[in-house]
Copies of this chain bind each other. A is one copy, B any other.
Amino acid sequence: MVTIDEFKNIDIRIGKVLEASPHETARNPMYVLKVDFGSEIGERTIVAGIRDRYAKGEIEGRKIACVVNLEPKSVAGVISNGMILAAESGETLSLLVPDREIDQGSRVH
């Protein structure tokens, strides 16, 4: 169980994926994403291990949900400053996305 305050500490925002490049040195199939979170947060680099599930063209330009207040973390030499949210079941991976057009930077609560 968690409290509502523990949930509210997690800053989840809608970001727009500007670019998805293959992570050149990671052993697993990862992207280095450039994600725009609007004027307050700006652009972030986020490493995401979804390159075997989503083609570049399926993710570039999309608006997706990301956690933006985790400590930055090095992933095979690239600093990731956020984490995408995805649902997983067996072999299926599915990004979490807003179901209506909404500005990047919008907060999820």
Interface set of A (CB-CB < 8 Å, partner B): 1-4, 6-7, 9-14, 62, 65, 67, 69-71, 73, 83, 85-89, 92-103, 105-109
Contact = CB atoms under 8 A, between A and B. Distances in A.
Specify how many copies of this chain sit in the oligomer.
2
A87 B4 contact: no
Contacts of A105: 89
A87 B65 contact: yes
A100 B100 CA distance: 15
A86 B108 contact: yes
B71 A1 contact: yes
Contacts of A11: 2
A98 B87 contact: yes
B106 A88 contact: yes
Given A10-B6, A96-B108, A87 B102 contact: yes
